[in-house]
Amino acid sequence: MVNNTTTVKPHRSNVTRRKIANRIMLTLCMLASVAAVTVLGLVLFFLISKGFSSINVKFFTQLPNHVDEKAGGMSQSIYGTLVLLGLASVIGLPLGILGGIYQLEAKGKFASAVRFFTDVLNGIPSIVIGIFVYAVWVAPIAKLHPGTGYSAFAGGFALGIMMIPTIMRTTEEILKLVPFSMREASLGLGATRWRTMWSVVLPSARGGVITGIMLALARIAGETAPLLFTILGNEFFVTHKVYGIKVPTLTAPIDALPLRIYNYATAVDPEQQRMAWAGAVVLITLILVLSIAARAATRGKVLEEK
Amino acid sequence: MFFTKLNKIAVTALALTSLLSVGAQAQTLTGAGATFPAPLYQKWFQQYKAKTGDEINYQAIGSGGGIKAVTAKSVDFGASDAPMNDTELKNAPGIIHIPTVAGAVVVAYNIPGIGPGIHLTQDVIADIFLGKITKWDDARITKLSPGTKFPSTSIAPFHRSDGSGTTNIFTTFLSQVSGDWKDQVGAGKSVKWTKGLGGKGNPGVAALIKQTEGGIGYIELAYAVQNVIPYAAVRNSKGNFIYPSVASTTAAAEGATLASDFRTVITNTKAAQGYPITGFTFLLVYRDSKPELKKFLEWALTDGQSQADDLLYAKLPASVQKRALAAVATLK
């Protein structure tokens, strides 16, 4: 505005104006962050007030009971979500971490193309990933073996794909933070490149890598869209025995918390609606635990050393 | 870190062992489809498991979804309130329709201060859903229910957003009774609505009606009763206003003649006491289905029938039951 006047006479009013502007902007910033936290608080309050009363032991131990809804639970959904997270990790962890290392180490056109496509993958809506898995996995399997196709494996596959970009980027970013001198020291002692990566760089960055994994898990734990086309849903546990040990049958349809919440929330049976709220409380708690675990993992690790 | 590592190893081992033993099946059958009979089916499957130990996993994803899933063979059986049309059948050779129960589609509403049982004629229902009648105190509505004082609330018609057998029953009925409807909208599992909002599944539409003053929509009888949503008595082809109930649904079902492959929509009944918006609901099964499915169908068509009344579905008329059992007997 009229800045040239300041050089002529630096009078008080300008300083006051700046101070006021500073105060106003600071207040606005504070209000914005308060608003964000309030929304979280309201969501939690709402969920707990609506859903907490339906959480009891049966909720965690029983299958849905359509003769008497109150006597039923969501044990198969909680179990299903955990199985799916495990499966997704089996696919997402190695690919994500190795991919992250590659992007850190490799130079050239191909590496930057990979990085670009990873970002694109990150931006693909989850429903599209669900349809993709349906097309390449569920439908062809159904053609080969009638009556199958929807399966825990298909769901884990879809969620695993979604984990890859998140883990890849966080791994790369966190490995970049490891001081270069540490590598030089390792290489100088005669270690090979992969030994340096495996025994020096990765361990010193493990807190950050674990954070990336936890964040990716927290993200996919709440996903419904990729599951709609892949797991169908199930009101039972499906297991079979391998050498006398019960294991989940990954080729059978499975349930998941977000999917069950989606189905029950749209139901008109008031008891099923209450169950949906309760399921949401459990799901949020699960995600909260993952996020807190991520925090705990980073505490006092890489960032401090830097 | 040690814990995570251990965890990872455990999960990997779990995954591998499961993959190695593909084919070991603990669950007996998987099915998907119609939401219309879902409350009954869920009870059936639970009781059937208690009785025989056979687990049947049924997911209510809508009739359209059920037909798609059974065509893709991603489930053992489908469920639909709309018989598959010829094109759909051609894509899924070997499918047969087994009727299980009949149900009524009710015209449910939410008008402030007005209880159940207002009278509606075929053409008034058509014009409400075409958007030609827009207020609840329209003379064409009020004169049908003398003594009831209608508010001037706007009418908000709701329909199904997903491919739905309930929609098929409702729109087939309206196409039979209204020329305008037949020309402008037509009949089918999903049609080109000229007015109103869509909800997903019977539950979705029921929720929309319940939440909206002036709302009207078509849902399955059990959903309306369970959620205490009032619904209308509808004039049938004999000129009687019939309130939907198990008795009037049964009357309509008994008055119907089904095609040899059961693919008939039985709306607009000629039975004097029959409710006109009624339909059979079907299980869609392949001729070479698993033997467990045949066993279940036999149970559903005999012992299972006694459950129907409680949940406001009409049992199969004896003649239809006999034919359905004969059809089941032809399964491998």
CATH code, A211: 1.10.3720.10
Cα-to-chain-centroid distance, residue B211: 22
Compare all CA atoms of chain A with the CA of B23 and give the residue at the minimum distance. A251
Nearest CB to B46; choose among A67, A210, A266 = A67
**What pLDDT is recorded for position A295?**
79
Nearest CB to B73; choose among A146, A267, A268 = A146
More confident residue, A9 or B214: B214
Question: Domain span at residue A14?
Answer: 2-50
A125 and A66 share a domain? yes
A29 and A76 share a domain? no
A278 and A264 share a domain? yes
Is B229 in contact with B110 (CB distance < 8 Å)? Answer: yes
A36 and A181 share a domain? no
Q: Rounded CA gap, A34 and A31, in Å?
A: 5
Give the tens place of pLDDT for each residue, A240-289: 888 888 888 888 899 999 999 988 887 767 788 889 999 999 999 999 88
Spell out a b/e string for A8-19, using b for 16 or more CB atoms within 10 Å of the CB, else e.
eeeeeeeeeeee
A7 and A105 share a domain? no
A224 and A301 share a domain? yes
Q: Rounded CA gap, B36 and A57, in Å?
A: 32
Three-state secondary-structure class, residue B5: helix
Does residue A153 surpass a pLDDT of 50?
yes
**What pLDDT is recorded for position B9?**
54
A265 and A287 share a domain? yes
A194 and A219 share a domain? yes
Q: Rounded CA gap, B134 and B157, in Å?
A: 9
A34 and A69 share a domain? no
Does residue A8 surpass a pLDDT of 50?
yes
Q: Which residues pair with B234 in a beta bridge?
A: B120, B242
**What pLDDT is recorded for position B136?**
95
Contact pairs from chain A to chain B, CB under 8 Å: 126
Q: Rounded CA gap, A200 and B137, in Å?
A: 80
Query: Which parts of chain B register pLDDT below 70?
Result: 1-27
Nearest CB to B42; choose among A66, A143, A248 = A66
Nearest CB to B27; choose among A238, A263, A268 = A238
CA distance A14 to chain B (A): 56
- Split into its structural domains, chain A has a count of 2
Question: Tokens 């509808």 belong to which residue?
Answer: B234
Q: Taking CB atoms and an 8 Å cutoff, what residues of chain B touch A242?
A: 17-18, 20-21
**What pLDDT is recorded for position B320?**
93
Q: List all residues of chain B from 275 to 314 with a beta carbon under 8 Å from chain A.
A: 286, 290
Does residue A302 surpass a pLDDT of 80?
no
Q: Taking CB atoms and an 8 Å cutoff, what residues of chain A touch B17?
A: 242, 245, 247
**What pLDDT is recorded for position A140?**
92
Residue A304: pLDDT band (50, 70, 90) is very low
Residue among A158, A42, A134 nearest B74 (CA): A134
Task: State the average pLDDT for chain A.
Answer: 88
Q: List all residues of chain B from 1 to 60 with a beta carbon under 8 Å from chain A.
A: 1, 4, 8, 11-12, 14-15, 17-27, 29-30, 32, 39, 42-43, 45-47, 55, 57-60
Residue among B248, B319, B295 nearest B99 (CA): B319
Burial of residue A206, with CB atoms counted within 10 A of its CB: 0-12 exposed, 13-18 middle, 19 or more buried: middle
Is A291 in contact with A222 (CB distance < 8 Å)? Answer: no
Spell out a b/e string for B268-303, using b for 16 or more CB atoms within 10 Å of the CB, else e.
bbebeebbbbbbbbbbbbbeebbeebbebbbbbbee
A94 and A145 share a domain? yes
ipTM: 0.74
Nearest CB to B76; choose among A147, A239, A240 = A147
A155 and A291 share a domain? yes
Interface probe, candidates B8, B18, B76, chain A, greatest A C-beta count within 10 A: B18
A278 and A300 share a domain? yes
Does residue A52 surpass a pLDDT of 50?
yes
Residue A170: pLDDT band (50, 70, 90) is very high
**What pLDDT is recorded for position A173?**
92
Q: Taking CB atoms and an 8 Å cutoff, what residues of chain A touch B59?
A: 232-234, 253
**What pLDDT is recorded for position A88?**
96
**What pLDDT is recorded for position B18?**
47
Give the tens place of pLDDT for each residue, A84-119: 999 999 999 999 999 999 988 888 899 889 889 999
Is B199 in contact with B161 (CB distance < 8 Å)? Answer: yes
**What pLDDT is recorded for position B2?**
45
Interface probe, candidates A268, A273, A290, chain B, greatest B C-beta count within 10 A: A268
**What pLDDT is recorded for position B26?**
52
Domain boundary among A11, A28, A50: A50
**What pLDDT is recorded for position B20?**
43
Q: Looking at beta carbons, which pairs linking B186-193 to residues 24 or more positions away fall under 8 Å?
A: B188/B82, B189/B63, B189/B64, B189/B82, B189/B163, B189/B164, B189/B165, B190/B64, B190/B160, B190/B162, B190/B163, B190/B164, B191/B167, B193/B129, B193/B159
